[in-house]
A = this chain, B = another copy of it.
Amino acid sequence: MRLVIVGGSDAGISAGLRARELDPAVEVMLLLADRFPNYSICGLPFYISGETADWRDLAHQKLPDLESAGLELLMEHQVTSIQPEAKLVHATGPESRPVSLHYDKLIIATGAELVRPPIPGLDLEGVHLLHTMEDSFRVQAAGAALGGGRALVIGGGYIGLEMADSLTHRGLRVTVVEQLPAVMPTVDAELGNLVAEELGRHAVTVRTGVAVERIERIERNAGRLVATGSGGFEGEFDLVLVAVGVRPSADLAVAAGIEIGTRGAIRVNRCMETTVADVYGAGDCVETWHRLLQRPLYLPLGTTAHKQGRVAGERAVGGQAEFQGSLGTQVVKVFDLAVARTGLRQDEALHEGFQPVTTETRVWDHKAYYPGAHELTIRVTGDRRSGRLLGAQMIGHPAGQVAKRIDIFATALFHAMTVDGLSDLDLSYTPPFSAPWDPVQVAAQEWAREVPRAPAG
């Protein structure tokens, strides 16, 4: 039995490892376009900042480990087409050598590609889109050479803000431009504004409601770029980084006659099967089943890619795993803040036909009488009709265990708990780390006070 996997990042590697774990007899051949299997794309900002000195450390698992787990890696193999009727994958290897592989099962894990906004000047030297390892080598080199220079980050989403942090750490003076009224649009503007304040505290200039319209080279200074945009935005920069989002890399699947679902992502069911027999999909190139909404969305996240890959790998060797769905749980570090969310925000919940109510609570991460307490801001969204928890957002110092506190909400959401029910959870407490009611429960109780339910008695 031969399993061929197209793509060597999170989903592909995860699939291959799971298949081999369950069935050591399966032959797993994995084709990847570059020579960097299993690299943590999420780690690039920390390599560029200098916090991670050696890019080789970014690999989740190193090549010898992958090989000893039984994965046969064909690096620098660009897959050109898939022929499902003949069960063939065609690729171009090093030195343009054509390669054709027969498969019994195929997993497509081609990931996502960066959106290139229609801004004239994106091809100029000094303008970067960050996606591959090669991109990051270029930005790292440029950043290191430009200590004290000026950088523009186009896009105030989580990657843009991680890069603002990263380039500041490198010694650059950074400006972030975001089209929407607040940065970090994955959380409510109230929290986005707290993130903007944190950026300001670290000398990052934030311009919201601004669209960059043009990037040009300055004649009198060959190394410099000028960016102009709406609202009279104009600035000179040594480096421009574009981070305005990603879209699924699905061209290969489309050409093979595989059906496409929401937002251009490959349609898959919860067994990670595409619409073509013996072909699975996983990761940033496919739709993601949303556990709360019970329908597919496009929600590319590394955690999800790992889970979907694991399911696809298990299915490919005859296992019965099912993808249990995403809640869009995510966290990002921006300077001394952790910003996290899970589930739906107020506006998303409203759009989905719920009767959402969102409350905001400020609460110490642990008993304030013990040194080092940090204030957390927690937003809880619940459904007025059913009392059900719909989502939560949290922001605060990383030492306030924001990342794993959002996971308490995420685990509660996974089990469709009511907001009120959170108070029943038996959570750990000692004064240096929490309070007898954990901040998560304090926020839930605040919501319940705001939304009194008919007394059950």
Interface residues, chain A, with chain B CB atoms under 8 Å away: 10, 21-22, 40, 42-43, 46-47, 51-52, 54, 57-58, 60, 291, 301-307, 310, 318-320, 324-333, 338, 340, 342, 367-371, 398-399, 401, 403-408, 410-412, 414-415, 421, 423-438, 449, 455-457
Task: Flag if B329 contacts A426 (CB, 8 Å).
Answer: yes
Q: Contact: B401 with A426, CB < 8 Å?
A: no
Say which residue of B58, B327, B436 sits within 8 Å of A426 (CB atoms).
B327
Q: Which residue of B lies closest to A302 (CB)?
A: B436
Q: How far is the CB of A22 from chain B (nearest CB, A)?
A: 8
Closest beta carbon of chain B to A317's beta carbon, Å:
9
Query: In the complex, are the beta carbons of B43 and A428 less than 8 A apart?
Result: no
Complex contact A456–B398 (CB within 8 A): no
Q: Hey, which chain B residues are within 8 Å of A414, CB to CB?
A: 424-426
Residue on B with the closest CB to A366? B403
Partner of A429, one of B302, B327, B408, B432: B302
Give bound CA distance, A252 to B38, whole Å. 65
Take A403-B430, A432-B398 as given contacts and tell me if A425 and B411 are in contact as well, using a CB distance cutoff of 8 Å: yes
Which 7 pairs from chain A and chain B are nearest by CB? A404-B404, A324-B424, A57-B369, A331-B428, A403-B433, A411-B411, A320-B456
A331 touches B401 (CB 8 A): no
Chain B residue with the shortest CB-CB distance to A332: B430
Q: Is the CB of B432 within 8 A of A407?
A: no
Q: Is the CB of A46 within 8 A of B401?
A: no
Task: Report chain B residues within 8 Å CB of A406.
Answer: 428
In addition to A58-B369, A401-B403, A406-B428, 12 A-B residue pairs with Cβ atoms within 8 Å of each other are A40-B431, A43-B431, A52-B370, A301-B429, A305-B436, A307-B423, A307-B424, A319-B456, A320-B455, A324-B424, A325-B426, A329-B428
Most B CB atoms within 10 A — which of A51, A320, A399, A433? Answer: A433
Q: A428 contacts B415, CB within 8 Å?
A: no
Instruction: For the complex, give the distance between the alpha carbons of A208 and B1 in Å.
Output: 57
CA distance A57 to B370 in the complex (A): 9
A187–B58 alpha-carbon span in the complex (Å): 35
What are 5 A-B pairs with beta-carbon distances under 8 A? A51-B371, A291-B426, A302-B436, A310-B423, A320-B455
State the CA gap A148–B319 with chains docked (Å). 64
A429: min CB distance to chain B, Å: 5
CB distance from A440 to the nearest CB of B (A): 8
Residue with the greatest number of chain B CB neighbours at <10 A, chosen from A58, A329, A411, A423: A411
Chain B residues, CB < 8 A from A367: 40, 43
A266 to chain B, nearest CB (A): 20
